[in-house]
Amino acid sequence: MEDLIINKTDELNALQTIDWDFAAAETDGLTHSFHPYPAKYIPQIPNLLIRELTCQSETIYDPFLGSGTTCVEANSLGRHALGNDIK
């Protein structure tokens, strides 16, 4: 169990070294331009976090599904995705 905690700590510390400036990023790839959802965020954020914190074939859960950005990115990275939202 201690090894798992150390490994997760290393992963979280690695996030501090990432350049989070996505000003020039292409944000309407895949299905990301289908819906003009006002609270939607750019796909680069979930893409980066999914790549850094999960492995292929793992399942990602998004409890605030919105327009599905996180689930689309999870699927494009070889992860399973589940999500729901209250409407």
pLDDT in tens, 52-71: 889 999 999 999 888 888 99
Domain count, the chain: 1
| Residue 7 covered by a domain | no
| Residue 76 covered by a domain | yes
d(CA 40, CA 37): 6
| Residue 62 covered by a domain | yes
Q: Give which of 73, 60, 62 is closest to 32, Cα–Cα.
A: 73
Average pLDDT over residues 7-26: 77
| Residue 50 covered by a domain | yes
| Residue 64 covered by a domain | yes
Percent of the residues in the chain that have a pLDDT greater than 90, as a whole number: 36
Q: What range defines the domain where residue 51 resides?
A: 41-87
d(CA 2, CA 65): 33
Mean pLDDT (the chain) is 82
| Residue 65 covered by a domain | yes
| Residue 21 covered by a domain | no
pLDDT score of 37: 62
| Residue 49 covered by a domain | yes
Which of 3-7, 16-20, 59-63 bottoms out in mean pLDDT, i.e. has the lowest? Answer: 3-7
